[in-house]
Amino acid sequence: MTSQESDFQEKHDVPRLLRNSFAIGEISDVVAYQGFSFLIFTFYYVICGLNVNLVTIVYIIWSIYNAFNDPLFGAISDKTVTRRFGGGRRRPWMVAALIPLAVVMFFLFTPPLGNQIILALYMLLIMSTFDTFYTAFSLNHTSLYPEMFSTDRAREQVGTARRIFMVFGLIIAFALPSVFIGKYTGDPAMTIPQYQITGIVFGVIIAVTLIIHLKWGVNEPFSEKMQPNQAPGFRESFKITLKNKKFVIFVGASTACWYVFTLLPMLMPLYCAYVLKQTDSFMTTVLLLIAFLSTIPGVLIWTKIDARVGSKQGMGYTMIWWGISLLALLFTTNYTIAAILMIPIGMGLGGPTYFIDRNISNVADEDQIATNCRREASYYGVHAVFVRLAAILVILSINLVFTFSGWEDASMIKLSGDQVFGIQMLMSIFPALALAIGLLFLKFYKLGKNEVREVQKILREKNAC
């Protein structure tokens, strides 16, 4: 970006069409990943009857693959120079992933029933296939954010738009399935086709929003303006990013948030059915709608807090709020009270996703001063290794609680008190403890508001030279 472009962004608003078209990519991203996360565990554990130990093995293997394909794609993306698929280095990967990502949403729900081992192998294969195409899109979409919008003003504006569209994506991902699926834990003969229809509709939404994002929201330099040889390779990405102490410390805080992001949607259908005694999928949808609609004012509040105290401090505040709100779920099995508690939980939910992007952008800015090279994809890729590995901690937490309470097999019609309390713990105590650990990491992260202001001042001076 030239100094003139940087000055323009500092003084002017990002054009509305560009801002909203870039942000609509959040719908593609969220519908794909959160729709997948929300349905996949319940589908294979409850509907298909896969033993929780086999589910755990599948999740561990998938999480390892999921973690390491992100930095691999990041390193490749940073080095890409091509005129194909519209040209650039980020855009071509997103164009190539468009159709496969939409199609695989259907095949997530076409399992071969009968043999447990074959079912587990299919689950592993289709989850890994999904993640390959999802990563090709998501990592490149995310990496464009700090590249296209380099100033605090632009990032706040686009960041706010992204969070608002993210809410729409969350509503689609968590509410739309109830239109087609009567009971998330219903009879397999009736329920599997309903899951498949949901996958098809998800695929169409992903394709349409991604086309809009690519056509009007991606403003990437032509390939001849790029210098890919400056970008590090796969191994070098690890070496460089893991030497950055600020980045490593921040990853600890971010991983704690991703543990909660992964755990809550995975268990929500079971929580609603077995703790709150509401088996109709619409009742789950109502809880989720309350939570995600509450993120809209939450995002606006966190944006104001970001402008006032900075991204580091703001992330700390939202983690405290979120953890306290989740702890309150431990003390009720009443659906109405749980629905009321979804308001503060939802307000907390919008904060970490906003602040994670802001803080990684700040780390990449500081890195550019030292290296004279933009390496967002490398940082996002290595960051993804750790936050994706959070899924292993999640599935081990579930396995521990389910096994300890004697619920390895989902065929039980009525659960004991210990099993119900175990789900309550997973929805409250476990995420609150994770966020408390994340706050300890954040305490030692030394890139606050004043430091970020100095970094951006140095970058503006370098661009002006």
What's residue 125's pLDDT? Answer: 97
- For 104, the token pair is 């695989």
Q: What percent of the chain has pLDDT over 90?
A: 41
* 78 neighbors 89 (Cβ within 8 angstroms): yes
Decide if domain 20-221+234-464 falls under CATH 3.20.20.80: no
- What is the C-alpha separation between 303 and 310, in angstroms, rounded? 9
Higher confidence at residue 460 or residue 124?
124
Amino acid at 17: L
User: Nearest to residue 401, comparing CAs of 274, 278, 279?
Assistant: 274
Average of pLDDT values for 326-342?
95
CA separation (Å) from 394 to 127, 262, 265, 425?
16, 7, 11, 13
Surface-to-core class of residue 413, CB atoms within 10 Å of its CB (0-12 exposed, 13-18 middle, 19+ buried) = exposed
How far is CA 86 from its chain centroid? 26
Residue 148 pLDDT grade (very low, low, confident, very high; cuts 50, 70, 90): confident
Amino acid at 408: E
* 85 neighbors 92 (Cβ within 8 angstroms): yes
- For 187, the token pair is 């009879």
What's residue 225's pLDDT? Answer: 47
Q: Is the pLDDT of residue 343 over 90?
A: yes
Amino acid at 233: G
Average pLDDT, the chain: 85
What's residue 276's pLDDT? Answer: 93
Cα dihedral 356, 358, 362, 365, rounded to 10, equals 120
The per-residue pLDDT for range 40-75, each reduced to its tens digit, is 999 999 899 999 899 999 999 998 888 778 777 777
Name every residue whose Cβ is closer than 8 Å to that of residue 311 and which is 6 or more positions away in sequence.
Answer: 355, 358, 359, 362, 449, 452
The per-residue pLDDT for range 413-449, each reduced to its tens digit, is 566 777 888 899 999 999 999 999 999 999 999 888 8
Rg of the chain over all Cα atoms, to the nearest angstrom: 22
The per-residue pLDDT for range 364-385, each reduced to its tens digit, is 888 888 777 777 667 877 887 8
Most confident of 1-10, 100-109, 391-400: 100-109
Q: Is the whole model's pTM more than 0.85, yes or no? A: no
Higher confidence at residue 117 or residue 419?
117
What's residue 407's pLDDT? Answer: 74
CA separation (Å) from 461 to 6, 376, 453?
11, 21, 13
Residue 229 pLDDT grade (very low, low, confident, very high; cuts 50, 70, 90): very low
What's residue 223's pLDDT? Answer: 44
Residue 391 pLDDT grade (very low, low, confident, very high; cuts 50, 70, 90): confident
Average of pLDDT values for 101-115?
95
- Sign of the CA dihedral with 143 first, then 147, 151, and 153 last: negative
* 149 neighbors 14 (Cβ within 8 angstroms): yes
The per-residue pLDDT for range 174-207, each reduced to its tens digit, is 889 989 998 887 788 899 999 999 999 999 999 9
Average of pLDDT values for 7-15?
61
Q: Is the pLDDT of residue 285 over 90?
A: no
